[in-house]
Amino acid sequence: MNLSIGIVGLPNAGKSTLFNALVKRQLAKVAEYPFTTIEPYQGVIDVPDERLTTLTLMVKPDKSTPASITFIDIAGLVAGAHKGEGLGNEFLAHIREVDAILHVVRAFESTNAVHTLGTVDPGRDIEIIKTELVLKDLETIGKLIGKEKDTGKKTLLEKLKAQLNQGLSLGEVKLDAEEEEMVSSLQLLTTKPVFYVLNLSEDKLGSAKAAQLEEEDFLVICAKLEADLLALSPLEQKEYLQASGITRSGLEKVIREAYQILKLITFFTIKGGKEVRAWPLPQGTLAAGAAADVHTDMEKGFIKAEVVNFSELVNIGSWHKAHEQGKIRLEGRDYLIADGDVVEFKFQV
């Protein structure tokens, strides 16, 4: 499953610095002037999971593959982007292609990298991008209403238009299953889940204000610090963070929040003892759907799924012993995959 998160923000907010820190290498150009990023950069990021490490030590496979998420550094936005201002058209087109949005909001002062609006105001900056997405969706829906002949669909579009005219995102609209299916096919920008990263200066990370912002569901990080940590060994990184009173790195926070906002779980496969692999999966996915993620042939020729949860398997000590003790469950196509399930799919070609 190719899951992607677009990193957005006003120019000079620290998007590219955060992106480079996430992917652990210098892909995106970083400079102290706006619109450094024009074409989007992509990087695949491994999802840390101690369960995968435990399974790997138990099975001792030839290969161990973590779950991953693709992050995309998208061009900076300015007011008027929905009308093509700045790099607005490119910005908005690339947002349509991602599953969720990570909005980097500037909360640091700098005489070198000046804010394009002159002053640092996180609340204002958040509203600018939200407004641009709302206005673009209004434009899209206006065009659709003019072409739609179906009365039911037209009524739904009018309902969405009314919501947007109040300045609200479409993610806040209550829809039934049929309406959700129709809306999802439209690729509207404000239907995408969003989470916010406040980019502070390093000296503000341990402040009372930072703690308050965390309680308000903002991720508080220093993108420059995260990038600087890449020059240190894992042990040195840990020691530095502990000395600074930081319990988790910003990267860990971002990856964990990405999983939550995309409503993902993780299941594992053990490929004949040769590869242990973690797979990201949307909550509520059935066994047949999970099999399709591993390989389309598995879904087509699905026979059954052999399943045991991670904790039980580790307590037993091996897949073979779990079989002997009758702890491996046989499940059909409609089995709901649970977080931590270790699955062996049986199928015919």
> Residues in the chain with pLDDT < 70?
1, 25-40, 75-91, 206-208
- On whether residue 23 sits in a domain, the answer given is no
Q: What is the model's pLDDT at position 214?
A: 74
Q: What is the model's pLDDT at position 83?
A: 54
Q: How many domains does the chain have?
A: 1
Q: What is the model's pLDDT at position 174?
A: 84
- On whether residue 296 sits in a domain, the answer given is yes
- On whether residue 115 sits in a domain, the answer given is no
Q: What is the model's pLDDT at position 89?
A: 56
- On whether residue 340 sits in a domain, the answer given is yes
Q: What is the model's pLDDT at position 341?
A: 97
Instruction: For residue range 208-265, list pLDDT tens digits in order.
Output: 677 777 777 789 888 888 888 888 888 888 888 887 777 778 888 888 898 999 999 9
Q: Which domain holds residue 304?
A: 284-347
Q: HEC states along the chain?
A: CCCEEEEECCCCCCHHHHHHHHHCCCCCCCCCCCCCCCCCEEEEEECCCHHHHHHHHHHCCCEEECCEEEEEECCCCCCCHHHCCCCHHHHHHHHHCCCEEEEEEECCCCCCCCCCCCCCCHHHHHHHHHHHHHHHHHHHHHHHHHHCCCHHHHHHHHHHHHHHHCCCCHHHCCCCHHHHHHHHCCCCHHHCCEEEEEECCHHHCCCHHHHHHHHCCCEEECHHHHHHHCCCCHHHHHHHHHHCCCCCCHHHHHHHHHHHHCCEEEEEEEECCCEEEEEEEECCCEHHHHHHHHCHHHHHCEEEEEEEEHHHHHHHCCHHHHHHCCCCEEECCCCECCCCEEEEEEECC
Find the CATH number of the domain harbouring 305. 3.10.20.30
- On whether residue 325 sits in a domain, the answer given is yes
- On whether residue 222 sits in a domain, the answer given is no
- On whether residue 118 sits in a domain, the answer given is no
Q: What is the model's pLDDT at position 148?
A: 86
pTM attached to this predicted model:
0.83
Instruction: For residue range 13-50, list pLDDT tens digits in order.
Output: 888 888 888 887 544 444 444 444 446 688 888 888 99
Q: What is the model's pLDDT at position 312?
A: 96
